[in-house]
Amino acid sequence: MNITSLYPQWVFTHGPALLVVLPLMMAVITALLPSKNAVGAKLAWLFTLGTVVVCALLAFALLMQVISHGPVSYAMGGWEPPIGIGYYIDALNAPILLLITVIGTLCMIYALPSIAAEVEPTKRALFYSAFLVSFAGLLGMVATGDAFNVFVFLEVSSISTYVLVAMGASRDRRALTSAYNYLMMGSIGATFFVIGIGFIYMQTGTLNMIDIARVLQDGGVDSRVTKLAFAFIVIGLGLKLAMFPLHTWLPGAYAYAPSFVTAFLAATATKAALYLLLRFSFTIFDPSWDFVAKSLMYLLAGMGIVGMMVASLQAIFQNDIRRVLAFSSVAQVGYMLLGVGMVTTLGLTAGYLHMLNHAIMKGALFIAVGAFWYRFGITQVSDMKGLGKTMPLTMAGFTIAGLSLIGVPGTVGFVSKLALVRAAAENGWWWAVGVIVVTSILAIIYIGRLIEQAYFHPAPKIGNKTVAKNEAPLAMLIPLWILAISAIVLGINAEWTTSLAEAAAHVLSGGPIVEFPHAVGGH
Amino acid sequence: MSPHLILKVVAKMLIPLIALFGFYVQFHGDFGPGGGFQAGVILAAAVILYALIFGVDAAKKAVPESWIRIGMSFGVLLYGGTGVATWFLGGNFLDYTVFAPHSTHAAGQHWGIFAVELGVLCTVTCAMLAIFYAFGSRIPELSDEDW
């Protein structure tokens, strides 16, 4: 049966715009809800959940459309690109849209108990509103086909994310300094990015991605302005995606934000930035140009390798569970960059696959950690003693995702690490294979430490009584287990995710996209 | 006699003119330089001047904080709602032509931009005031001797 036939036709023609407009409009309506009482907060949650579910359905429809009919493009205001702003969805960004919306949906289910515990009642409606703005920004920067529009949405999502991180202040005051640090680093990143866009505009006189690629192909490679633009864009996006030496904002932001925000950000925000890096390096600039190829190989792969090693080592010595996972995130970004830096179809497939898989496992891990705090106020590794007995289901979900992060066979982590090793071997990068193995051993140490605390230590005693079993609420267990089960299912049968990654790698290795799809605005 | 009499009298004369100029920039934006953003800033400047001369509390009485959130949201809704309206009329998002499809002088574009810019005016004015109130409310009141 063809699933796409269940959708009305306008989904395919207007879907790209609706995907961004809907959360943006709902954010405004949510902000207007009464915030004085609990009913308003509940209503805000319902509105937000409804919005993200509809967005997930839209993203799924668009992905199906892209797979069966090729790229979808949309002309904002009826002005055909390159004159107007065009939205452009192909096999490279459609899976990211689905990823963001699905993770958003799962996190929203989780948000109900989590936000009730972490955010003051009067601020909840506004909190959900800020989340929807951030959500719309992420979708916008992935869906758009206009380079300046990317910057606008990058700022839309970033600024609302700073607010979301700062909301952790009612739990831990350090959230404020973390949010401020993130604000500074993020603004520098956005500034570098927009300077790069400025140089591109100076060189080509256009802002539409396809048009830029077309003009750059006519002699753009010889221009110093083009090289400068590329340098600024790579550094700007490097800050946003937490590339190794530019990652300093990430551990603080992930460790002190409300757990719902951490789970959502860890699974989506850096992925969207990485997508942009891929989009710019491969389909706007040309990876066959010397300076692009060298940057990819030495800068991205090089920094990826260093990040994998250093961040994994740092993760081992953290006391805060969320900081362990945050440093692990920096290391995992290194894996993705390593795959991208190989510039081979296999390497790109592996990097892209790891991006999708990492979202699944990190989402699950952070959701579980939020549940530990929700029940027992646990933030430190040493407090995890006996969690295997007191919260068996939550801890089991955590363990599955943790094993996946290590790369145990039968989980998604194994699939993408194996793909990465094969790509490195094909390239003759045997040292990279060695680094992947070594960092996996480091992952065994930092994840093993958490699991060991939970399963091999008795639960602490209060007075004479051992702490009783106190499982996380259902609204937390459901998203956790959906992610944990998909980590296993997609790990055993990785056909679907691999085919998505291969389609994306196919777009990337096809070189710059210089032709507009003929069916503008769907068909 | 109240202190800063000259300031108060001059400000009272200027504020309506500033607001009027704001609206001129807004509604003449179709034909000359201007538009919702600039007009919004000018309009907010009128209120901010009032706050500087007569105090933040007086300004909050004139333009209450509760209006600000509603105003900010309403502007975005007006902008987005225009786009949604074009969807229901069968065009692309923000394709203003559908408002007057048979017009020979692009009347649809005029109406569309008019509505959208009104939304921008609303949001920018309120956002400027929100920022001003947020910072202005933190500073303790200066006593008259400190001027």
CB–CB contact B95 A77 (8 Å)? yes
Would the pLDDT of A337 be above 50?
A: yes
Measured between beta carbons, the chain A residues lying within 8 angstroms of B66 are none
* Lowest-pLDDT range of A34-48, A497-511, B86-100: A34-48
Residue A41's pLDDT band, with cuts at 50, 70 and 90, is confident
Compute the average pLDDT of residues A393-397: 93
Q: Are A77 and B87 within 8 A, CB to CB?
A: no
With bands split at pLDDT 50, 70 and 90, how would you rate the model's confidence at B15?
A: very high
- Structurally, how many domains does chain B consist of? 1
Q: Which contacts of B133-138 are long-range, i.e. CB under 8 A and separated by 24 or more positions?
A: B133/B56, B133/B59, B133/B60, B133/B65, B133/B68, B136/B51, B136/B56, B137/B56
Q: Report the run of H or E that residue A463 belongs to, with start and end.
A: none
pLDDT at position A521 over 60: no
Q: Does B69 touch chain A (CB under 8 A)?
A: yes
Whether the Cβ atoms of residue A312 and residue A331 lie closer than 8 Å to each other: yes
**B77/A74 CB distance under 8 A:** no
Minimum-distance CB partner of B93 among A29, A32, A76? A76
Select the residue of B77, B92, B94 nearest A521 (Cβ to Cβ): B92
Please check the confidence at residue A362 and state whether its pLDDT lies above 60: yes
Decide: residue A116, CB within 10 A, 0-12 exposed, 13-18 middle, 19+ buried.
middle
- How many Å apart are CA A62 and CA A142, to the nearest integer? 13
Which residue range(s) make up the domain with B114?
A: 5-146
Tokens 């961004």, residue located: A20
Q: Is A208 left (phi over 0), alpha (psi -120 to 50) or beta?
A: beta
ipTM of the complex in this document: 0.88
Size of interface A-B (CB pairs under 8 A): 47
Mutation to test the A interface, candidates B68, B72, B93, most A Cβ within 10 Å: B93
For residues A172-188, give the mean pLDDT: 93
* Whether pLDDT at A519 is above 60: no
Band (A523; pLDDT cuts 50, 70, 90): very low
Distance CA(A437)–CA(A431), nearest Å, equals: 10
Kindly report, residue by residue over A63-118, the tens digit of the pLDDT: 999 998 889 889 988 888 888 899 999 999 999 999 999 999 999 999 999 988 88
What's the mean pLDDT in B4-17? 92
pLDDT, one tens digit per residue, over B47-83 is 999 999 998 889 999 999 889 989 999 999 999 999 9
Task: Say what the pLDDT of residue A385 is.
Answer: 87
Percent of chain A scoring above 70 in pLDDT: 98
Mean pLDDT, range A205-218, rounded to an integer:
90
Of these ranges, A1-10, A350-359, B136-145, the one predicted with the greatest mean pLDDT is A350-359
Q: Is the pLDDT of residue B146 over 70?
A: no
Strands A86-89 and A465-466: unpaired
Instruction: State residue A106's pLDDT score.
Output: 94
| Mean pLDDT score of chain A | 90
A23, A132 contact by CB (below 8 A): yes
* φ and ψ at residue B138, rounded to 5 degrees: -85, -25
